[in-house]
Amino acid sequence: MRKNKKVKDLTITERWEQGVPHDPRSKAIYAGIAKIDFEECGDSFCFKSGGDGDNGETLMYLLDVYFTREDAHE
């Protein structure tokens, strides 16, 4: 964990262009909510990941940014 360390806040596009791997927490949350959505909500969000522009990939990038910002404030 980072404590009081300034971290470059990459944009989602920069993360994608640089091939920055998703935070494991983002992957876990995505997998969990995609499964729940599929099982309980009839796949209402139609989450997909693995391709450019997939909504699941976008969600993970959003979570990556969130976790980066949270970690920078610990």
Q: Which long-range contacts (CB under 8 A, 24 or more apart) does 29-36 make?
A: 29/63, 30/56, 30/59, 30/60, 30/63
First to last CA, the chain: 8
Model-wide pTM > 0.85: no
Full pLDDT tens readout for the chain, 74 residues: 444 344 478 999 999 999 999 999 999 999 999 999 999 999 999 999 987 779 999 999 999 999 999 999 87
Q: Where are the domains of the chain?
A: 12-72
Q: What is the token pair recorded at 5?
A: 């360390």
> Rounded distance, CA 5 to CA 34, Å?
33
Nearby residues of 55 by Cβ (< 8 Å), 6 or more positions away: 45, 46, 47, 48
